Amino acid sequence: MMRSIAEQKVDELGGRLSVLTRQRRDHVKLEDLLEDLAGTTGAAQGQVLLRIYRLVFPHAFAEESVLWPMMRRVLPDGHELTLEVEREHQEVNELVTALEALEADDPAREPVLARLVEVLREDVRDEEDVLLPRLQAILSRARLRGLGLAWEVVRRTAPTRAHPVVARRPPGNVVAAVPLSVLDRVRDLVDGAVLRGPERVGPGLRRVSAGLAGLAHRVEHLPVMRRGEDPSTRPTGH
């Protein structure tokens, strides 16, 4: 049985530049944020969620653009392995979309948030215990470092918000990267200002954020953004 990357030292993972090391580093950050999230409400919860989104969505986008296509090329069961994680990513997108539509005091918010935390932790376990060890077993240290560089470049320029309509596979997700990343990162700045700023500026900035979200929603519905998707990861209702 292959060892989880959670149990390995940095050198075993291929060094600090390896994609395995980079993946695990993000997973550790995510767990810290999920612990910070527990028990929070209102603006404090919003700030932690914003940090989670900025970590989780670029991370997943880079996986779907760089790592999973590689796994489908080099592993005979790569399609099945990556599809399961893509389904988890799709559920995260749909949960966050639902969460953002709920008011802070809505009783429906708590179960949605609890399920989001559960799925994020399931995703980490599946990647660290199953997918990434399989990739480690077949690729050299040099290939793992090369993948790490490609993954990092994509992660730094990827969308930072939920986009459940966009394909989880190329070419749709690749085409979506630039326009949605720009809109998301501007929205992040606006939402951060809402959460940190004085109450009097909140309504105006919320309207700006809603406008950006609406524009991103229209962009992600362009047909080209959905090309390459497996039917099982299409959003509910589509």
Residue 98 neighbours by CB under 8 Å, 6+ apart: 112
Residue 22 neighbours by CB under 8 Å, 6+ apart: 148, 151, 152
- Residue-wise pLDDT tens digits, 157-210: 999 999 999 999 999 999 999 999 999 999 999 999 988 877 777 788 999 999
> How high is the pLDDT of residue 238?
44
Please report whether residue 5 resides in a domain. no
Please report whether residue 4 resides in a domain. no
Q: Which residues form the domain of 95?
A: 11-231
Residue type, 44: A
pTM confidence score: 0.94
The beta-carbon contacts of 171-178 under 8 Å, at least 24 apart in sequence, are 171/224, 171/227, 171/228, 172/224, 172/225, 172/226, 172/227, 172/228, 172/229, 173/61, 173/64, 173/65, 173/225, 173/228, 174/65, 175/224, 175/225, 175/227, 176/219, 176/220, 176/225, 177/61, 177/65
Overall average pLDDT of the 35-46 stretch: 93
Please report whether residue 76 resides in a domain. yes
Residue 158 neighbours by CB under 8 Å, 6+ apart: 57, 58, 61, 62, 65, 177, 181
> How high is the pLDDT of residue 237?
52
- Residue-wise pLDDT tens digits, 48-71: 999 999 999 999 999 999 999 999
| Position with higher pLDDT, 226 vs 27 | 27
> How high is the pLDDT of residue 137?
96
Please report whether residue 238 resides in a domain. no
- Residue-wise pLDDT tens digits, 216-237: 999 999 999 999 989 989 886 5
CB 190 within 8 A of CB 212: yes
- Residue-wise pLDDT tens digits, 113-139: 999 999 999 999 999 999 999 999 999
> How high is the pLDDT of residue 114?
97
Q: How many structural domains does the chain have?
A: 1
Please report whether residue 1 resides in a domain. no
Residue 25 neighbours by CB under 8 Å, 6+ apart: none
Please report whether residue 2 resides in a domain. no
Please report whether residue 68 resides in a domain. yes
Mean of the per-residue pLDDT values for the chain? Answer: 94
> How high is the pLDDT of residue 175?
93
Q: Which two tokens stand for residue 29?
A: 């950050």
